A and B are shown apart, each in its own frame.
Chain A
Amino acid sequence: MVARDAVRFAITTGGVGMAVVLMFFLLALYRGVRIESNGWVSSRPAAVWIAQVNTTNFIKASSFLPAAVADAAREQPGVAEAMPLLRLITLLETGQRHLTAIVVGIDSASTLGQPEVVEGTSQLSPGDIILDGALSRRLGAKPGDTLRIEGRPFRVTGISRGTNSVLTQFAFITFEDASSLLGFPGVASYVLVRALPGTNADTLATTLRASIPKVAVLTQLDFADNNMDELRGGLLPILATVAVLGGIVAVAVLTLLLYGSVLERREDYALLKAIGAPSRVLATVMMGQAFAVVSGGVIVGLGVYAIAVPVAARLAPAVPLALSAGTVIVVSACAFVTGVIGTLLPLGRIARIHPAEVFRA
């Protein structure tokens, strides 16, 4: 019945759709932050990271090493390649805009440091810069544009993804340019080490610890996990809390909407009872209506999400949203379960409606 009343159906499904889209956004944000903020570190094709003593991660630690550590690493057995990288936290300027970013100096000839480039090239020459996609949108800089770091011009040659740590973003320049910007030649932040085929990462880490003094050596797996732990201790719990609270609100809204939509048709149910509809028919009608409303709500939610994502990307480019098929399935299933609950709750009241009520003027 409710599906045939266009206005009522639109209001109810719209409300359910908003509850669903709230959950899509919160879970997509949680997943997006989880993937993006650790994306570049966790996807390095390295076996081992070498860092300054006591440094355990990339996000919340400073690390300075002699660049010569890379040369020392190359001489060790089992090492295929060792690449120094230099991390700077500095200001990028384009015309009227200026933003702080993590600028990573890499050897672009090596895939150890190369980010995943979605536009332009991953090859860097002196004076080139690859910007994270969100950073590019926030700065309003696209490939071919020029920006300045410490007064020096850099030409944007590529746009990367998986390089948005939410609070800030990554940019990539040559190691030599980074070294020049730092002003201290011969310094690296980390050394990424690739193992020869058949060499175990733990064994290689042990070898490097034994042969290079006064450095921290961590396997890629441990380093990425440490990074994720830092995220878990920072932004992710806040987002998880917001997602849980949002979920509770969404469930409450959804339940209330369905509960209300059932009760508001009390007279219709009284009529059905009066003309001889058995209780199972009423329950079937109510469940059918809940199914129609929730199905409509999920479709509305997906539609609104699809429309809102590009808008959100424009308004808040640093906010990563990653909605998975799994999330859509779980949220939809939760919406249907909530729909059933929201319908079952007033079932007792509907069952108690006296069919003689239909005679009330």
Chain B
Amino acid sequence: MNGRVAAVRLVDVSRTFREGSHSVVHAVKNVNLEFGRGTLTLVMGPSGSGKTTLLSLVGGLLAPSEGDIEVDSVRLASLSPAALTEFRLRRVGFIYQRFRLLDALSASENIELPLTLAGVSRPKSRQRAVALAARVGLDDRLGARARSLSGGEQQRVAIARALANDPPVLLADEPTGSLDSVAGQRIIELLHGAATEGASVVVATHDERLVPFADMVVRMEDGRVVDVARG
């Protein structure tokens, strides 16, 4: 943790899934981790190692079968479903491998979406979208429909959307997985920048190019943390 305050704390966290009527899959097993504020953490491992499940648990998308998760001093188990929805809106930003923009909306409208959901007024959300677009280098593409943007541009819009409510935690699942090396490099820089500005950025990835930027690299296998290396 490099002495920084923990933004995310997982204590003895496990998550199982039922597969059929008898089989149980242990997607995450007895994980104990802390992700600090202002750090970039990589969660690496082969497919099926539990990286995405770990992100879903931290993001409040899945509840752990066992253990406790605390994000930004909030114990997720204590939250009602409505409070959990509010938590995701204000305290977590999500970035997906396939961008997950709403195709029919413009880049600006996609960025404004979390702000609109948070009840921010139209002029203020617009102003924020302009600032975020400038930050990710898309100020000239604000009016473009999401589907007309390149993969790299779409992912930058997704990052701007994730940053819209200035969340303390940013979770990215294979953010460079669908991009070429140049676009991928830009995304790495943006995620590193977000961490530098104080967010706890947790990235599930296979991409070794991110390692030099990471403060901590967590390696997983079969749902277990097998190695934690601090930068």
Contacts and interface: CB of A to CB of B under 8 A. Distances in A.
B25 to A, nearest CB: 15
A275 B113 contact: yes
Interface residues of A, number: 23
Given A356-B56, A358-B94, A271 B85 contact: no
A4 B105 contact: yes
Contacts of B113: 272, 275
Interface string A84-101: 000000000000000000
B104 A5 contact: yes
B79 interface: no
A300 B173 CA distance: 43
Contacts of A354: 61
A274 interface: yes
A2 B105 CA distance: 10
Given A274-B61, A275-B114, A276-B89, A1 B105 contact: yes
A275 B88 contact: yes
Contacts of A274: 59, 61, 88, 94
A268 interface: yes
B88 A361 contact: no
B141 interface: no
Interface stretch (B95-103, B121-129, B208-216, B220-228): B95-103
A361 B114 contact: no
Given A276-B86, A277-B117, A359 B102 contact: no
A198 interface: no
A233 interface: no
B125 to A, nearest CB: 14
Given A271-B100, A271-B102, A359-B173, A278 B82 contact: yes
Interface in A324-361: 354-356, 358-359, 361
Interface string A228-242: 000000000000000
A359 B114 contact: no
Contact of A276 (B56, B88, B103): B88
Interface residues of B, number: 28
B85 A277 contact: yes
Interface string B50-63: 00100110010110
A311 interface: no
Contacts of A5: 103-104
A268 B117 CA distance: 15
B120 to A, nearest CB: 13
Contact of A356 (B62, B86, B90, B98): B62
Interface in B23-49: none
29 contacts: A2-B104, A3-B104, A4-B104, A5-B103, A5-B104, A267-B100, A272-B113, A274-B59, A274-B88, A275-B88, A275-B89, A275-B94, A275-B113, A275-B114, A276-B87, A276-B90, A276-B118, A277-B117, A278-B85, A281-B117, A354-B61, A355-B88, A356-B62, A358-B61, A358-B94, A358-B100, A359-B56, A359-B173, A361-B97
A276 B103 CA distance: 19
B61 A356 contact: yes
Interface in A263-284: 267-268, 271-278, 281
A3 B103 CA distance: 12
Contacts of A359: 52, 55-56, 61, 96, 173
Nearest to A280: B82
Given A275-B89, A275-B161, A358-B100, 6 more contacts: A5-B104, A276-B86, A278-B82, A278-B85, A278-B117, A356-B61
Interface of B: 52, 55-56, 59, 61-62, 82, 85-90, 94, 96-98, 100, 102-105, 113-114, 117-118, 161, 173
B113 to A, nearest CB: 7
A297 to B, nearest CB: 18
Nearest to A276: B89
Contacts of A277: 85, 89, 117
Contacts of B97: 361
Given A356-B62, A359-B55, A359-B173, A276 B104 contact: no
Nearest to A354: B61
A247 B61 CA distance: 43
A47 to B, nearest CB: 66
B102 to A, nearest CB: 6
Contacts of A268: 102
A5 B102 CA distance: 10
Smallest CB-CB A-B distances: 4 pairs: A276-B89, A4-B104, A356-B61, A5-B104
Contacts of B173: 359
A289 to B, nearest CB: 10
Nearest to A277: B117
B227 to A, nearest CB: 23
A211 to B, nearest CB: 80
Contacts of A361: 97-98
A275 B117 contact: yes
A246 to B, nearest CB: 33
Interface in A219-267: 267
A348 to B, nearest CB: 16
B102 A1 contact: yes
Nearest to A281: B117
Which among B85, B97, B114 has the greatest number of chain A C-beta atoms within 10 A? B85
A276 B114 contact: yes
